Every structure is written in C-alpha cells, then in structure tokens.
C-alpha cells in the first residue's frame, strides 16, 4: 500500500490482514490481562492484532494518528486518525462463538465521537466476511453493495439487538431498560460484538440496535457502514452517537424506537445506576 491508496482500500487491507491473524489464532486464545472488571478481558490475540495494525499504519500511513483500544494514542499530523478495535467481541472470541471481528476506521477532524467525520471503515468478521464503507460511497459486504431493502417492520415486529457493559452495576441498569423493551418489540438479541451488530443492522439480519457505554472504536467503522447502508445512527437527542447511547434503526422507525427507549429509562441510564 502507498499513501496514494484510498482510505477505504487501506481500511479493507488492514481489517483483512488482522482478521486473518485473529481467525488463525482463535484456537490458542488465552486471557493476557483484565481491565475494568474481572470479566473485561484482553487476549494475547487482541494485543497481536493491534500490533499488526499499528505496524502496517506506520509503513503505509506515516503521520496519521491512532486511537486504538489496546495502545497509546498517537496524535495526527495529517488530519486523519485511525480508530482501531483489534478484536470486537473478545468474550465471544475466547469462547469460540463466531460473532467477533476486527474494526478499523479512518476519521478526519478531532478523533472523538462529537468531533470526527467518519471517512472510511472496514470490519473483518469471524466468518471471513469483509464489511466496509466510505463516506458518500455506500456500504459493502465483500464486493456486494449493501442497501436497506423495503420498509422497516413496525416496532412490535422489530428484532432489536443490544449489548451490556463489563461492570455489573451498569449491566443491572441496562437490564432494566432491556426488560422494559422486550415486550415492545419482536424480541431482543445480545450477540456480543457491537461493531458487528451494526453490520447486521446494515444487512437487515436484525432490524435495529441500541447500546449504552460503547467506546469510539466500537462505533466508528460500524456506524459508517450502517449509515451508508441507509440507516439512521444517532444518540438519544438525534445528535452524534457516543458513549452515553447509540441507536441504529431505519430512519422511518428511529424516532419511535428512541421514544420507546426514553420511556424505558434509557435517557439517564448511568444516573439511574448511581454514577
């Protein structure tokens, strides 16, 4: 790769190479460390994947910034920052549940959920599918263009994905919202990898997704893929999705889902948890 390759091509190549690495290393995955709680784990393959991504970026995109889950921030000299989740769905990865992947995004501007513009992103998942998107250029599953087909189902027939945090008191608060939501929709899925969940909303494998407490590397590539496929991805007020909450749904269903989530207590979740 050379600096003249597009951000989309670089993102695809990065995600593919790291995706191959983690799929090949899956059988020997071992916990290398824990983070916010004893169930918030890092495997040696998270570290190896992040190392590979950073090495390639140093060769292919010198001067770009890096915001990666498992390493120090690198400030951008070019205006582009790479937002990296070396394995999204690490618990699935450890257990061998085939719903995990590598998420890579290039953003311009401030590398924060409120300051960035999502330029390009790619996600290589457990099954070897490469999901990708570039701003204004659409979303793709491998070579095939992804566009939301048909009207969204009504809320009561919406298959809704969500996720939970590693801290038990936060999960408890999230559980209360999920308990209130489960009777409002077709059913709820907790698949275990936020970035991949966003790809599945883009593909229509689930109808909608919301989650509290996501980090920039969970959001960046998947949000762009979902948005470029025609979904609305936003926070509770319709502004940028961020750590407080992300809601992804068809534009014609988004506000109704948001209102149901607000009724379920989703607007002030961490306050409700005493934080």
Binding residues for Ca ion (CB under 5 A): 69, 85, 87-88, 218
Q: Which residues, in sequence order, are bridge partners of residue 85?
A: 103
For residues 202, 266, 214, 104, the Cα torsion angle rounded to the nearest 10 degrees is: 20
Among Ca ion, ligand IPD, none, the one that 53 touches (CB under a kind-dependent 5 to 8 A) is none
Cβ-closest position to ligand IPD: 163
Contact call for residue 121 and ligand IPD (CB under 6 A) = no
Q: What is the 3-state secondary structure (H, E, C) of 39-58?
A: CCEEEHHHHHHHHHHHHHHH
Contact call for residue 222 and ligand IPD (CB under 6 A) = no
Nearest approach, Cβ of residue 2 and ligand IPD (Å): 30
Q: Which residues, in sequence order, are bridge partners of residue 103?
A: 85, 123
Q: Please identify, using beta-carbon distances, which residue of 64 and 88 lies nearer to ligand IPD.
A: 88
Strands of 22-165, DSSP E? 31-34, 41-43, 65-68, 80-88, 101-109, 116-125, 130-134, 138-141, 144-146, 159-161
- Do 159 and 207 form a contact (C-beta atoms < 8 A)? yes
Contact call for residue 193 and ligand IPD (CB under 6 A) = yes
CA distance 132 to 123: 6
Given candidates 64, 85, 125, 207, which one binds ligand IPD under the rule CB under 6 A?
Answer: 85
Contact call for residue 213 and ligand IPD (CB under 6 A) = yes
Among ligand IPD, Ca ion, none, the one that 207 touches (CB under a kind-dependent 5 to 8 A) is none
Given candidates 49, 81, 90, 113, which one binds ligand IPD under the rule CB under 6 A?
Answer: 90
Q: Please identify, using beta-carbon distances, which residue of 1 and 94 lies nearer to ligand IPD.
A: 94
Q: For the window 137-166, what string marks contact with ligand IPD as x by the rule CB under 6 A?
A: --------------------------xxx-
CA distance 133 to 68: 19
Scored b (16 or more CB within 10 A) or e, 137-156 reads eebbbeeeebebeeebeebe
Among Ca ion, ligand IPD, none, the one that 192 touches (CB under a kind-dependent 5 to 8 A) is ligand IPD
| Contact set with ligand IPD (CB under 6 A) | 85, 88-90, 163-165, 192-194, 211, 213-214, 218
């Amino acid at each position: 790769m050379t600096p003249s390759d597009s951000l989309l091509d670089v993102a695809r190549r990065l995600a593919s190479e790291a995706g191959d690495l983690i799929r090949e290393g899956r059988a020997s995955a071992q916990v290398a460390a824990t983070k916010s709680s004893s169930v918030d784990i890092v495997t040696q393959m998270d570290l190896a994947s992040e190392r590979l991504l950073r090495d390639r970026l140093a060769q292919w995109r010198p001067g770009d910034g890096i915001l990666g889950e498992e390493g120090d921030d690198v400030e951008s000299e070019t205006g582009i920052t790479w937002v990296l989740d070396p394995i999204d769905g690490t618990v699935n990865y450890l257990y061998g549940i085939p719903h995990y992947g590598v998420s890579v995004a290039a953003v311009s501007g401030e590398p924060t959920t409120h300051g960035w513009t999502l330029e390009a992103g790619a996600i290589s998942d457990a099954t070897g599918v490469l999901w990708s998107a570039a701003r204004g250029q659409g979303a793709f599953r491998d070579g095939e263009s992804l566009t939301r087909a048909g009207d969204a189902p009504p809320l009561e027939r919406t298959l809704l994905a969500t996720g939970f945090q590693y801290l038990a008191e936060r999960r408890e608060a999230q559980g209360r919202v999920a308990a209130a939501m489960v009777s409002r929709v077709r059913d709820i899925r907790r698949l275990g990898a936020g970035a991949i969940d966003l790809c599945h909303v883009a593909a229509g494998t689930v109808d909608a997704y919301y989650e509290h407490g996501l980090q920039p590397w969970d959001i960046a590539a998947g949000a762009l893929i979902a948005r470029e496929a025609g979904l609305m991805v936003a926070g509770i007020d319709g502004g940028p999705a961020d750590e407080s909450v992300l809601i992804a749904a068809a534009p014609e269903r988004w506000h109704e889902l948001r209102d149901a989530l607000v009724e379920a207590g989703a607007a002030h979740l961490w306050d409700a948890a005493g934080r």
